[in-house]
DNA sequence: ACAATAGTGTCTATAAGACAGTATTAT
DNA sequence: ATAATACTGTCTTATAGACACTATTGT
């Protein structure tokens, strides 16, 4: 399960806004295999559960949070992805408001921590073949913490021939992440980025009251791209609802607080 | 596996174009449970396979086709979805050019046939709750053949509260389809409809040479909606490449043939 | 005063919707 | 000639990008 949240970085200037960071929850493995490596939280599905029930249970155990946005991503079944046995993993993405989570509730010996996420395109390449093309995209996934930094490179290859089309992720290099979790994280980030612009899922990362600038910052850290203020506000109008509250800010005009508006969005 | 293709219906007028139909491949079960009912083709994954390899193998066995568009859809794990045991199904969608398939190659006693697909919204409802809303959409799925017609009703419920969001499909009524396959088919159609407008996957349903009107018809049967010719052609320009061939048609101006252009589409 | 953010107005570029017009064929 | 489809042109509408302008605060 890829559990995302957005948090503020400490602000250095009394009148500057704090920067936002996209965070992912990882767990340091306390057992073999990959002892000591960081992994996505997750576990085995019980025979009396659906995969979604299992995901919600794990989420509750790990973060104490219960009501969140949860979306199935992809089912991974590569051979050898777990050295112990043939394991299929049905991955999920969760979006939560970071303020709600009390970490370290982990009852097992495992160690949970938030990592800031960066996922950048390194190289893009398109090559013609006999009856189609191969497109390769290499991304760098960087997960950082006060204590550790992990970097992985993931290559996404789309092969197209006259009639067929197939897409494949491969881990080129990987340092510190357990299993094929770099792939799963890449998959989650791409889904998140893909959906953020045409749905309202980003609202799940917001507290109940927020400013439009904060919402824009959330979009920006997810997309890793700056957005134009005017255009963003035009679009956000449909997702939010005005309140009469204002953020008593520092050193500049106070900004109006908004709340999510599930009504308006179709 | 939901295997889609598009086929021509017999034309009644020498100068009228044949209508297109979206078709889905189903298999009549020759064993318990659901003996005699129609089901999606599929099978069990072998321990030496990924789910995708298994899907491609089943596809080959069932249709004799090898190089096709294949996309993972969703993994179903509802309790009781198979009366025999707890079974997780990782569903795939395949798009093929119908002219390539020779059916009845089925080596097992099962019976394979194409069914025309109709998936229509029956009712849409949005209800406010204490801290969110519940949105319900009921669809009618109709699968028809010269010999049989099956109708199922699927209800898609999206529940949203202050922080959470969950989506659920339920089969309201079902006549003739095995297991929870009505759900899987609904899921496949929704994915197909969703992707058709912003990707070029529809091209996988086309033969190597085709007219723009044919391509538009394919879009129309998938979306179950008429499109404007001028606008469609403007968009399709980016996906196709002119050839110097023309369809020697009947009773009207011959139309230029195009081929897929994987190059232009980004 | 000033540095910073909040919020608005407007011009432009691009894409989509709507619809009418012309072109070309087999019978 | 006619019924049908092929294809193009253009007006309108909606949306997104770009950017400048005004408003308001705490120190």
CATH of the domain at A245: 1.10.10.10
Instruction: Give the A window 95-134 contacts with B, CB below 8 Å.
Output: 96-97, 100, 128, 132-133
Find which of A137, A163, A183 to mutate to test the B interface (most B CBs within 10 Å of its CB): A163
Q: Is A80 on the interface with B (CB under 8 A)?
A: no
Residue nearest to nucleotide C9 (CA to C1'): A230
- Residue A262: its chain B contacts at CB < 8 A? 132-133, 160
Q: Tell me: the pLDDT tens digits for A55-70?
A: 999 999 988 888 899 9
- A107 and A212 within one domain: no
Residue nearest to nucleotide C8 (CA to C1'): A230
Å from A228 (CA) to D17 (C1')? 8
Query: On the CB side of A104, how many CA atoms lie within 13 Å of its CA?
Result: 0
Domains of chain A: total: 2
Cβ contact B47 with chain C strand, < 7 A: no
Alpha carbon distance B87, A47 (integer Å): 9
Residue A48, exposed/middle/buried by CB under 10 A (0-12, 13-18, 19+)? exposed
Query: A56-78: buried (b, 16+ CB within 10 Å) or exposed (e) per residue?
Result: bebbeebbebebbbbbbbbbbbb
* Phi and psi angles of residue A185, each rounded to the nearest 5 degrees, phi first: -65, -45
- B27 and B134 within one domain: yes
User: Would residue A233 count as lying in a domain?
Assistant: yes
* Phi and psi angles of residue A218, each rounded to the nearest 5 degrees, phi first: -65, -45
Q: Do B79 and A48 touch (CB under 8 A)?
A: yes
User: Would residue B266 count as lying in a domain?
Assistant: no
User: Would residue A252 count as lying in a domain?
Assistant: yes
Q: Is A170 on the interface with B (CB under 8 A)?
A: no
Instruction: Give the A window 53-72 contacts with B, CB below 8 Å.
Output: 66-70, 72
Cβ contact A230 with chain C strand, < 7 A: yes
Instruction: Show which of B140, B168, B196 is a domain's final residue.
Output: B196
| Nearest-Cα residue of chain A relative to residue B95 | A164
- B231 and B123 within one domain: no
pLDDT the model gives residue B174: 96
User: Would residue B170 count as lying in a domain?
Assistant: yes
pLDDT band at B103 (very low <50, low <70, confident <90, very high): low
- Nearest alpha-carbon partner for A49 in B213, B78, B203: B78
More confident: B10 or A123: A123
- A53 and A185 within one domain: yes
pLDDT the model gives residue B248: 84
- B128 and B59 within one domain: yes
Tokens 């919204």 label which residue?
B121
User: Would residue A222 count as lying in a domain?
Assistant: yes
- A119 and A12 within one domain: yes
> Which of A92-106, B144-158, B232-246 comes out lowest in average pLDDT?
A92-106
Å from A216 (CA) to C10 (C1')? 22
Q: Tell me: the pLDDT tens digits for B40-78?
A: 999 999 999 999 999 999 999 988 888 899 999 999 999
- B212 and B192 within one domain: no
C-alpha distances out from residue B254 to A266, B7, B160, B211, B257, Å = 43, 21, 53, 10, 9
For residue B61, the enclosing domain spans 2-196
Instruction: Show which of B145, B161, B196 is a domain's final residue.
Output: B196
Å from A251 (CA) to D23 (C1')? 14
Q: Tell me: the pLDDT tens digits for A88-147?
A: 999 999 999 977 777 654 555 568 999 999 999 999 999 988 888 999 999 999 999 999
More confident: A13 or B207: B207
Residue B146 has pLDDT above 80, yes or no: yes
Structure-token pair, residue A249: 């800010």
pLDDT the model gives residue A146: 93
Residue pairs between chains A and B whose CB atoms are closer than 8 Å = 92
- A108 and A82 within one domain: yes
Å from B15 (CA) to C24 (C1')? 13
User: Would residue B265 count as lying in a domain?
Assistant: no
Q: Do A75 and B90 touch (CB under 8 A)?
A: yes
Dihedral sign of CA atoms B199, B98, B116, B141 in order: negative
Residue B106 has pLDDT above 60, yes or no: no
* Phi and psi angles of residue A99, each rounded to the nearest 5 degrees, phi first: -65, -20
Q: Do A262 and B166 touch (CB under 8 A)?
A: no
Instruction: Show which of B145, B168, B196 is a domain's final residue.
Output: B196
Nearest to B74 among A72, A161, A166 (CB): A72
Q: Do A67 and B97 touch (CB under 8 A)?
A: no
Residue A163, exposed/middle/buried by CB under 10 A (0-12, 13-18, 19+)? buried
Q: Average pLDDT in the A166-195 region?
A: 96
Residue B140 has pLDDT above 70, yes or no: yes
pTM > 0.85: yes
Domain of residue A138, CATH code = 3.90.79.10
- B228 and B140 within one domain: no
**Chain B closest-CA separation from residue A75 CA (Å):** 7
Q: Is B204 on the interface with A (CB under 8 A)?
A: yes
Nearest to B204 among A165, A201, A263 (CB): A165
| Nearest-Cα residue of chain A relative to residue B100 | A163
* Strand-strand pairing, A38-39 and A89-95: unpaired
- B209 and B138 within one domain: no
pLDDT the model gives residue A163: 85
Nearest nucleotide, CA B217 to C1': D5
Nearest to B50 among A79, A165, A201 (CB): A79
User: Would residue A201 count as lying in a domain?
Assistant: no
Q: Is B79 on the interface with A (CB under 8 A)?
A: yes
- A227 and A129 within one domain: no
- Residue B100: its chain A contacts at CB < 8 A? 163
| Nearest-Cα residue of chain B relative to residue A124 | B266
């Amino acid at each position: 399960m890829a559990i995302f949240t957005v948090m503020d970085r400490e602000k250095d200037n009394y009148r500057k806004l704090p920067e936002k960071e996209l965070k992912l929850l990882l767990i340091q493995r306390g057992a073999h295999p990959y002892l000591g490596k960081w992994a996505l939280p997750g576990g085995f599905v019980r025979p009396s559960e659906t995969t979604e029930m299992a995901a919600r249970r794990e989420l509750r155990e790990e973060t104490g949070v219960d009501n969140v946005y949860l979306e199935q991503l992809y089912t991974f079944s590569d051979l050898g992805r777990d050295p112990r046995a043939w394991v299929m993993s049905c991955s999920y993405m969760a979006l939560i408001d970071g303020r709600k989570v009390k970490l370290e509730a982990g009852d097992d010996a495992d160690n949970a921590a938030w990592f800031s996420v960066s996922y950048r395109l390194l190289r893009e390449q398109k090559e013609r073949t006999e009856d189609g093309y191969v497109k390769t995209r290499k991304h760098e996934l960087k997960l950082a913490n006060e204590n550790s930094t992990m970097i992985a490179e993931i290559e996404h290859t789309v092969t197209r021939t006259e009639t067929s089309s197939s897409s494949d992720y491969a881990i080129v290099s990987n340092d510190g992440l357990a299993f094929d979790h770099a792939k799963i994280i890449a998959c989650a980030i791409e889904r998140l980025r893909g959906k953020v612009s045409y749905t309202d899922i980003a609202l799940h990362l917001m507290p109940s009251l927020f400013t439009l600038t904060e919402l824009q910052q959330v979009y920006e850290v997810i997309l890793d791209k700056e957005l134009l203020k005017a255009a963003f506000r035009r679009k956000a109008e449909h997702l939010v609802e005005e309140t009469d509250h204002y953020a008593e800010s520092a050193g500049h005009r106070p900004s109006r607080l908004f709340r999510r508006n599930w009504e308006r969005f179709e």
